[in-house]
């Protein structure tokens, strides 16, 4: 079975700091020197990449407590995104699909309208690619659907620099036997944008099909863009349930061609799978990735909502927690489980 490593990026705003170049490279393979534009050096050119609330994170479900204030997430317009063609773009880092502002989210502090989505995969032979982890486990890929606070800001670029200016849906993707027709709408056009800066148009389709079937189960936290300029402006919703695409879809000629063209790809080492420290609870996947020194740690809260009793078992690789917060239990009369966890991070 072929798997592809996701390059999870928020790359719609690359003009900060003069549009400096950045890559995922950790080492230059020819002489083993650190790449001057790789992840280790992002904070030099983009200081916020070494800042407090850096995403992504490892979500651990055994360190959570109940929060009754979370609302069900309600996407509007996703099933019928208009009649105008959608623009698909190869920007050299990922495939990005522009979305009309008729798509928006409710169930958040304000109204957030859609701007774009992006989906990345990389070289074959690696069985994981998602940046967010759940209980230390990654999935084959991850999709981001990017929205901005239209009540407070005029544009995506303005909102991207403000706290909670953006709301991003993170969809973990696993590979199975069932073909996903929603993802096929995108995958079937990849042969038209093989090279950087190529663009194509595609018919509108049911974007809701890209999401997992059950939206009531999600994790919520305040974080950042995962790539330069790393603005600390993202209200993250990472769904607990996965979307699925088939082995046939990820092993198609279009996907293989993309995996060969978009290089270099991050290896598990360059994405921050580093040795774990019991003094560090909130860990960025960046290879430079600590939020702050242990002296500056303070509690950070994150939330999870589900309509089913949660499984709190841990399996696989996980952070070493020095303290845990227990589950409070079922919210009577609603059938909703609400869980909140606290980790130590920067103030």
Q: What is the 8-class DSSP label of residue 310?
A: P
pLDDT value, residue 151: 96
Question: Residue 157: which domain range?
Answer: 16-62+72-292
**Is pLDDT at 293 greater than 70 in this prediction?**
no
**Is pLDDT at 319 greater than 60 in this prediction?**
no
Residue 210 falls within a domain, yes or no? yes
What are the residues whose beta carbons fall under 8 Å from the beta carbon of 305, sequence distance 6 or more? 67, 70, 72, 216, 217, 218, 220, 336, 337, 338, 339
Residue 332 falls within a domain, yes or no? no
**Is pLDDT at 69 greater than 50 in this prediction?**
yes
Give ∠ CA 35-41-43 in degrees, rounded to 5.
165
Residue 334 falls within a domain, yes or no? no
Residue 39 falls within a domain, yes or no? yes
43 contacts 323 by C-beta, under 8 angstroms: no
Range among 89-98, 236-245, 258-267 with highest mean pLDDT value: 236-245
CATH number reported for the structural domain that contains residue 154 in this entry: 3.10.200.10
pLDDT value, residue 228: 86
Q: How many independent structural domains does the chain possess?
A: 1
Q: Given the residues 89, 93, 144, 291, select the one marked as catalytic.
A: 93
pLDDT value, residue 105: 97
147 contacts 98 by C-beta, under 8 angstroms: no
| pLDDT tens profile 153-177 | 999 999 999 999 999 999 999 989 8
**Is pLDDT at 75 greater than 90 in this prediction?**
yes
Residue 220 falls within a domain, yes or no? yes
Q: By percentage, how much of the chain surpasses pLDDT 90? A: 34
User: How far are the Cα atoms of 81, 104, 145 from residue 100, in angstroms, in the given order?
Assistant: 7, 9, 12
339 contacts 310 by C-beta, under 8 angstroms: yes
Q: How confident is the model at residue 116 (pLDDT cuts 50, 70, 90)?
A: very high
**Is pLDDT at 200 greater than 90 in this prediction?**
yes
226 contacts 114 by C-beta, under 8 angstroms: no
pLDDT value, residue 136: 87
Taking the CA of residue 199 as centre, how many other CA atoms within 13 Å lie in the half-sphere pointing to its CB? 7
d(CA 83, CA 72): 28
Residue 302 falls within a domain, yes or no? no
191 catalytic residue (yes or no): no
| β-pair type (58-59, 133-134) | parallel
Q: How confident is the model at residue 50 (pLDDT cuts 50, 70, 90)?
A: confident
More confident residue, 343 or 60: 60
Residue 307 falls within a domain, yes or no? no
More confident residue, 93 or 205: 205
- φ, ψ dihedrals at 250, nearest 5°: -80, -15
What length does the chain have? 347
Looking at the DSSP assignment, which residues form a beta bridge with residue 343? 300
| β-pair type (95-98, 243-246) | unpaired
| pLDDT tens profile 270-292 | 333 222 222 222 233 333 233 33
319 contacts 283 by C-beta, under 8 angstroms: yes
Nearest in space to 25 (alpha carbons), one of 43, 15, 12, 39? 39
Residue 179 falls within a domain, yes or no? yes
pLDDT value, residue 47: 84
Structure tokens of 193?
A: 């944008």
């Amino acid at each position: 079975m072929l798997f592809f490593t996701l390059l999870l990026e928020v790359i719609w705003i690359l003009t900060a700091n003069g549009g400096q170049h950045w890559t995922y490279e950790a080492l230059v393979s020819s002489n083993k020197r650190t790449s001057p534009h790789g992840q280790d050096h992002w904070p030099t050119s983009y200081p916020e990449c070494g800042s407090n609330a850096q995403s992504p994170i490892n979500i651990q479900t055994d360190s959570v407590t109940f929060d009754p204030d979370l609302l069900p997430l309600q996407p509007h317009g996703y099933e019928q995104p208009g009649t105008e063609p959608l623009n698909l773009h190869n920007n050299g880092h990922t495939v990005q699909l522009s979305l009309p502002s008729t798509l928006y989210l409710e169930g958040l502090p304000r109204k957030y309208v859609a701007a774009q989505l992006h989906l990345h995969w990389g070289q074959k032979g690696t069985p994981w690619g998602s940046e967010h982890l759940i209980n230390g486990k990654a999935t084959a890929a991850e999709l981001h659907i990017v929205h901005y606070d239209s009540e407070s800001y005029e544009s995506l670029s303005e909102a991207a620099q403000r706290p909670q200016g953006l709301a991003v849906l993170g969809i973990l993707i696993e590979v199975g036997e069932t073909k996903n027709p929603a993802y096929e709408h995108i995958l079937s056009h990849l042969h038209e944008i093989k090279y950087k800066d190529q663009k194509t148009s595609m018919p509108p389709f049911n974007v809701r099909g890209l999401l997992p079937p059950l939206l009531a189960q999600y994790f919520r936290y305040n974080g950042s863009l995962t790539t330069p300029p790393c603005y600390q402006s993202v209200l993250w919703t990472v769904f607990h349930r996965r979307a699925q695409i088939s082995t046939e879809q990820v092993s198609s000629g279009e996907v293989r061609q993309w995996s060969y063209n978009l290089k270099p790809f991050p290896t598990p080492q360059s994405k921050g799978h580093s040795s774990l420290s019991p003094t560090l609870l909130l860990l960025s996947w960046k290879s430079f990735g600590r939020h702050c020194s242990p002296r500056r740690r303070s509690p950070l809260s994150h939330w999870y909502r589900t309509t089913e009793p949660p499984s709190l078992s841990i399996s696989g690789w996980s952070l070493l927690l020095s303290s845990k917060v227990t589950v409070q239990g079922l919210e009577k009369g609603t059938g909703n489980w609400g869980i909140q966890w606290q980790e130590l991070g920067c103030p």
